[in-house]
């Protein structure tokens, strides 16, 4: 089993993702440079957080045209598991591998803190191992994490069971107070119709060891491990 972590100029959570995969979960992992056109023989892809291309124009707008993204789109079209975290989520939106768009946080401040998440779809390669009803403590760190979708798109996402995680309070209630950025419907992460492409603003790779404040992020990687083990 092998994972690839895409590296753009300006990615800064690539090593965190690598550490979570390789050192914490023992998965053979390699970095894939944005100019590569071949992903190699990987079973899963992580598009990490950061500020690809300085977030010039719009977050993710330039990265989506990097040569490697054609290979990522092909991999996703074949059903390969792809997880976009933070800037990786923004890139997936710009690449139209996921629907909707990202705006500046409603309060305009960069937000870096632990939030509570409730998983609403455990039928994805990255969430199947999250215990039912578990409230996850995972950090966010972003200035543009305000997920925007109009009414029609929200209905489509809800009908298709494509909302994967929402911001909630410590009781698991999805409240306006627990929304850190103004996202429509407290949405923190979504998936595509086939459920193999997942994007989320919170950083599971920053919460994989208790001494980091939480190990709840492990569920996402353990899910990927279990998914790939059963698929191969």
| Residues found near another protein in the complex (CB under 8 A) | 57-58, 61-62, 65, 94, 100-101, 103-108, 146, 148, 150, 182
Closer residue to another protein in complex, CB, 160/182 = 182
Q: How far is the CB of 93 from another protein (least distance, A)?
A: 9
Q: At its nearest, how many Å lie between another protein and the CB of residue 129?
A: 33
Sheet holding 111-119, edge to edge: 28-33, 2-7, 44-47, 82-85, 197-200, 187-191, 163-168, 111-119, 135-142
Minimum CB–partner distance for residue 8 and another protein (Å) = 16
Looking at beta carbons only, is 4 or 180 nearer to another protein? 180
φ/ψ of residue 227, rounded to 5: -65, -45
**Residue for token digits 């803190």?**
113
CB atoms within 10 A of CB 156: 15
The catalytic residue positions are 86, 203, 205
Structure-block tokens of residue 197: 């492409």
Smallest separation (angstroms) from another protein to the CB of 65: 7
- β-pairing, 2-7 vs 44-47, is parallel
Query: Quick one: residue 108, left, alpha or beta (phi over 0 = left, psi -120 to 50 = alpha)?
Result: left
| Shortest separation between residue 58's beta carbon and another protein, angstroms | 6
Distances 113 to 27, 61, 74, 116, 169 between C-alpha atoms, Å: 28, 25, 34, 10, 14
Compare residues 31 and 148 and give the one whose CB is closer to another protein: 148
For another protein, which is the closer residue by CB, 90 or 116?
90
Nearer to another protein, 104 or 212 (CB): 104
């Amino acid at each position: 089993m092998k994972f690839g972590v895409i590296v753009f100029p300006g990615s800064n959570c690539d090593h965190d993702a690598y550490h979570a995969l390789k050192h914490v979960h023992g998965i053979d992992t390699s970095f894939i440079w944005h100019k590569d056109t071949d992903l190699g023989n990987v079973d899963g892809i992580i598009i990490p957080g950061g500020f690809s291309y300085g977030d010039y124009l719009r977050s993710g707008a330039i990265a989506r045209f990097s040569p490697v993204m054609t290979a990522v789109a092909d991999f996703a079209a074949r059903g390969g598991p792809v997880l976009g975290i933070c800037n990786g989520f923004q890139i997936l939106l710009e690449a139209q591998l996921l629907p909707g768009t990202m705006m500046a946080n409603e309060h305009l401040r960069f937000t870096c803190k632990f939030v509570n998440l409730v998983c609403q779809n455990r039928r994805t390669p990255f969430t199947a191992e999250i215990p039912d009803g578990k409230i996850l403590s995972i950090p966010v760190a972003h200035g543009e994490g305000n997920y925007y979708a109009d009414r029609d798109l929200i209905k489509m996402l809800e009908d298709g069971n494509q909302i994967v995680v929402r911001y909630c309070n410590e009781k698991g209630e999805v409240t306006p107070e627990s929304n850190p950025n103004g996202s429509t419907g407290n949405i923190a992460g979504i998936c595509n119709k086939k459920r193999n492409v997942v994007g989320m603003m919170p950083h599971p790779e920053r919460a994989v060891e208790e001494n980091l404040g939480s190990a709840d992020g492990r569920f996402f990687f353990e899910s990927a491990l279990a998914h790939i083990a059963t698929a191969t």
